[in-house]
Structure 1
């Protein structure tokens, strides 16, 4: 992630409306829960998290190079921890020590943003290198890679970069940072990387996964996104990435957005069809701060539990404790986890409620039916119905105890079945090794000739799902990619839910896919029956076997704010209402004929100068919503830093919020920022939204926290005044009396006029 230098060290980089009951599952009594931050038991900061379930059944979580604790704490070179349930954690140590830094990196390099995957029977970690030996000067960012036989190491460096530094030609380097791998059904592996300076890119990797091949393709414009993570779902590739500054302390507005494409190479567009490559940049919001303690929510990974429920794992900043006590200048960014829902084809954290700060249902990580997931042949939960089902040990990998399903002498098949019936809508998952040239099948809802069968066939090189009810059979088959190796562990997941059976074969079970198949079931086929695993053509090995009820997805977003009755309207027809007052008035501003015309000047209200004019008024008591219509042509593509206009909430010149349409280098974005005085230091940070147009509608909704009296302000923008995109929430102290109003400025060249058509205040429904 992009960091800034501060005090000589590198700073390493919910909605205001209560969630509807349907969107907020509640943990049953005695059920496992998590409480953010999930990393607090072993660390004070744990940024840029990456998560993978190892073949040994543990869930491993990795983090960027940072001090692990408040002082005294050494500067760890990427961290490793593990858990069984996402509630109790064990810290394992660092990826590198000072003595074993990769030789092609410098002794002063930082290592950021690990991305962990399972590739060809070994664990592969991609990471950011800030300084390399081969390139002169600092900040010559590159992507490195190490491999290991287990998720805890030991790690072996590849001897050079996966993606080398990319000079800009202007004496510096593009941000070749924040790697994320995708293994796609087309048989190729793709590595996504990049950041604000240079944009997001994707490159194909060679068969080893250790070197880039061919020419990279740009997938998102610069000055907007970093920290990408890509998953495949329902035939779409979703590029999710973080926007804004990761590390601005108590004013960090980091957040996560998404675009999707039918190709891993893009183009990626948001839910309104706006490209992530557009100067007026698109992106569908996935996660943003909601007014509770957590701000700066981003740099994430997406992981599925064994019920099929997705979760987003990310770092955040406690706005009341933004910095490590020492060393100075390092943002304190612990790891959080929240449910990730898919609504109308798009990912969104907690149905739009944002980061949680109360106990939440934990990911499901263990099996029902008495199955010991990481030792599936233990106990009496499963019994052989053909051949033998015995406990074994993984002699070629790190899986430990495994189940061995072996045909009897002279027989071709073996089968094992659960003693108990699975739920009516089950999800079955296992890591499997398929016999070379043989088959492994999972059978669900089996009742004589009827049932659902999913088969991995190494001889035919196919994944097939077949559903039969009496004389009716439906099926779907997908080819296995050339990289599929029957002798290596592969994750097979089978799910029956809402009248459909799906199966997914994947290397890392992180949104990747070797193959995906699915069929709509004949009515009446889904029923609670035992689960059966069958092998043909030799011995199969099974590990991390789980049978649980398939998750019940949340399908409706939490309610978005709606304006109520209008309580004030300024139409700019003539003289301003008497409630307005000017601060640092400008003679160039005119009012009349339904428009306030405000020529942009080289002035600003952020920072120490405080030269910009402001038009302010006292808002109503209680909850309210302010709205304005703004015409502002900032063009596209060209650098016009930082021309802008919009609405402002002001306590004083050093404590304010600002929502505007802004030119940021070559992009045009909606910026909702905050400035505050932190112990004599002015801090500025912002949430970035959009997309924008020449005519924009902007909203700020104000509510009061009933427990603390704190002011909360949430942003929204629209390109048509009908469809609104609600954004982040900032707060101001309870004891203040902020004004609301309008502003414009940021630069006089080229000559540009902001035209406000009206300003209105509403009650909030």
Structure 2
């Protein structure tokens, strides 16, 4: 059946189609989350790639697209401008799905790539015939076009891994990287067993050697790796993807000089440590979107990076009945690289209203899908059925129009001859691919990087040449997805690129050519709450006063020596376990303030102490609260910001989910910042610190009314005698600036 079109064209596109003049052109195109809403209610675990035909293709996991719809065997959609989308059907059908998958197996988390002249899709198989019963594996399929037909590998790329106790580790969520050493690496894994990386054969279809574990278990899944400025960035999702209106999924990052790690966060903490950290890439901000995660990165024609991910509208969280399938549409937002780390909208998190769409197509009058017409000296070739017409350059060619002075990005799919040079700014900048190297030169400064020995110039690859500020770079990679065969970069202080045509010297076949000014980078993080004057609180210098109140008093909690000491209770607050004591302090008047405490709780490291915890709580009742705690979770120690609410009013059934924030330490500082949002809802944003000076701000939870604010100490289920003691130095309330 031919694909069904779903059109939601931006005004700017409509204006151009109608022949509006440049002088009265409509504003730049925008996009509004969720970008999959025109064709699907859920489009989870998305991955994305620009095809040889110029379209951007997105792929999703095997959920029904709409309520009561059939389970698809992974889904495909495409767009040219990120405003109009076209649904293309499923990747597999019952006849073409993997023959080695067990009946009833699901296919999750597609990761799409292009190399060696073919599209390669990796995916999770939830059960194989080898060991029926959820023995997860990684499969692969290849195709000549982004829509298939897909030919499945004869067996798993990464086989199931036994846990030695009759179960199976999470061999799930694949992500491929082609690294600067010319090797292909597969990242995979989840909470049970951690994320690992293994080398693949050059064709990308078989694992070789021994895998290396790069994250601790119980923390990360849904990895994606990109290369930037000499580092490999491992980004991965944490906590629960699918807890309906209490989903706290978020994405975190670590980086390494090696594709095999170790991956360290911005604080220098390895992602394999028990007291695990991770630098926040995206987390929920108090608008309607919660649980942003399981993502991919893409770079637009202006060099702006974007994160494509799924999230949940907390007001429409379920695709089916509560506790069934979660509604996880596809979203997109800008990625800003600030102080060497990827941040979504400078740390602001998911967008809810219109935002600038990714820049597509070319300037200078070039038709990216038929580039020869915009180039003097190039000849038009018919190309192939996939890519369409191409431009052949042999000798010299240049754009018919001059690029404006300043930053510039030139990107194309290329099949390279023996030597190919891009010239920018007249003769100011050269980028050359020849003699097994990529070389850039500006003024008297040059830099080179070697291509892998087996690099195939005859295949289609990406060539990207960019001048941004004083930095000149040239990069060759598979398909523009953050991988790298070679990148050369040089900094030339005072460089100002002159207005001039873009020129090429040498030989190459060129497709999808775009020439654009470079997007203006965002260099500063978004503002976070800051404490002002002290409004109220207690330093525990005497007995608890009238500002304090209890729910289920605990006589073992005592104030002495300027501290509140509270042995962890064998109690909890989640689900039906509403037997934990809670100690509350009156909150200040006003629509915004910050509560802060200093907590000492030594939960050790690396052993199992489920689920010892203590911290702060914003509480409406036993089935409606947000809880910020330093928690022992199996072998990890995490800062967990959890949310419980009634998800099914008919019988009072509750849902509980969590977000992660920062890293854990025996002595921990915590904050909850309160404010009202534009809808008059009550937002509580959490932060943590290991020194009381440098704070990591994280997820926000929204409550329907002003909450009680207080402390808790519970989750001692190990039978420790005596119980560990949580010691609070103070609880203070500050003005929020």
User: TM-score over 0.5 for the alignment?
Assistant: yes
Map 1:312-391 to 2 at 5 A: 312-325=307-320, 329-378=324-373, 381-384=374-377, 389-391=378-380
C-alpha distance in structure 1 between counterparts of 2:326 and 2:128, whole Å = 25
Which deviations, in whole Å up to 9, do the C-alpha atoms of 1:398-427 show, x marking residues without a partner? 212111223xxxxxx343443333442111
C-alpha distance in structure 2 between counterparts of 1:140 and 1:565, whole Å = 56
CA contact (8 A) 1:405 1:416 kept: no
Q: Which residue of 1 aligns with 2:542?
A: 574
Give yes or no for the alignment of 1:81 onto 2:69. no
User: What is the aligned counterpart of 1:404 among 385, 392, 395?
Assistant: 392
Map 1:292-303 to 2 at 5 A: 292-303=287-298
Shift of 1:599: 0.6
User: What is the aligned counterpart of 1:711 among 663, 670, 682?
Assistant: 682
C-alpha distance in structure 2 between counterparts of 1:166 and 1:310, whole Å = 35
C-alpha distance in structure 1 between counterparts of 2:562 and 2:323, whole Å = 51
User: What is the aligned counterpart of 1:558 among 526, 529, 532?
Assistant: 526
Q: Which residue of 2 aligns with 1:219?
A: 214
C-alpha distance in structure 1 between counterparts of 2:369 and 2:260, whole Å = 37
C-alpha distance in structure 2 between counterparts of 1:293 and 1:29, whole Å = 29
CA contact (8 A) 1:45 1:334 kept: yes
Which deviations, in whole Å up to 9, do the C-alpha atoms of 1:289-344 show, x marking residues without a partner? 00000001000001100111100000000000000146970000000000000000
Shift of 1:519: 1.6
The secondary structure found in structure 1 opposite 2:91 is strand
Q: Which residue of 2 aligns with 1:732?
A: 703
CA contact (8 A) 2:422 2:430 kept: yes
Shift of 1:213: 0.3
- Superposed CA RMSD in Å reads 1.4
Q: Which residue of 2 aligns with 1:150?
A: 145
C-alpha distance in structure 2 between counterparts of 1:132 and 1:245, whole Å = 25
1:522 to 1:296, Cα distance in 2 relative to 1, 3 A: closer
Q: Which residue of 2 aligns with 1:701?
A: 673
C-alpha distance in structure 2 between counterparts of 1:194 and 1:605, whole Å = 31
C-alpha distance in structure 1 between counterparts of 2:125 and 2:586, whole Å = 50
Shift of 1:607: 1.4
C-alpha distance in structure 1 between counterparts of 2:495 and 2:160, whole Å = 58
Shift of 1:251: 0.1
C-alpha distance in structure 2 between counterparts of 1:328 and 1:655, whole Å = 17
The secondary structure found in structure 1 opposite 2:73 is strand
Q: Which residue of 2 aligns with 1:20?
A: none
CA contact (8 A) 1:648 1:743 kept: yes
Q: Which residue of 2 aligns with 1:601?
A: 569
The secondary structure found in structure 2 opposite 1:96 is coil
Map 1:259-338 to 2 at 5 A: 259-325=254-320, 329-338=324-333
C-alpha distance in structure 1 between counterparts of 2:263 and 2:489, whole Å = 25
Q: Which residue of 2 aligns with 1:455?
A: 432
CA contact (8 A) 1:375 1:403 kept: yes
CA contact (8 A) 1:39 1:334 kept: yes
The secondary structure found in structure 2 opposite 1:729 is strand
Aligned residues: 706
Which deviations, in whole Å up to 9, do the C-alpha atoms of 1:592-640 show, x marking residues without a partner? 2111111112101111121101111331222111111101000010010
Give yes or no for the alignment of 1:625 onto 2:606. no
User: What is the aligned counterpart of 2:710 among 731, 736, 741?
Assistant: 741
Q: Which residue of 1 aligns with 2:635?
A: 666
Shift of 1:390: 1.9
CA contact (8 A) 2:302 2:359 kept: yes
Q: Which residue of 1 aligns with 2:10?
A: none
Shift of 1:152: 0.7
C-alpha distance in structure 1 between counterparts of 2:562 and 2:441, whole Å = 66
Q: Which residue of 2 aligns with 1:7?
A: none
Runs (4+) off by over 6 Å: none
Q: Which residue of 1 aligns with 2:57?
A: 60
CA contact (8 A) 1:433 1:486 kept: yes
Q: Which residue of 2 aligns with 1:9?
A: none
Which deviations, in whole Å up to 9, do the C-alpha atoms of 1:136-170 show, x marking residues without a partner? x3210000000000011100011100100001011
1:525 to 1:761, Cα distance in 2 relative to 1, 3 A: closer
The secondary structure found in structure 2 opposite 1:250 is helix
Shift of 1:582: 1.5
C-alpha distance in structure 2 between counterparts of 1:607 and 1:76, whole Å = 33
Q: Which residue of 2 aligns with 1:13?
A: none
1:524 to 1:291, Cα distance in 2 relative to 1, 3 A: closer
User: What is the aligned counterpart of 1:95 among 86, 91, 94?
Assistant: 91
The secondary structure found in structure 2 opposite 1:429 is strand
The normalised TM-score by structure 1 is 0.91
User: What is the aligned counterpart of 1:637 among 583, 602, 606?
Assistant: 606
Query: Could you list the runs of 5+ residues in structure 2 that have no partner in the other structure?
Result: 1-24
Give yes or no for the alignment of 1:508 onto 2:479. yes
Map 1:156-235 to 2 at 5 A: 156-235=151-230
1:429 to 1:554, Cα distance in 2 relative to 1, 3 A: same
Q: Which residue of 2 aligns with 1:393?
A: 382
Q: Which residue of 2 aligns with 1:752?
A: 724
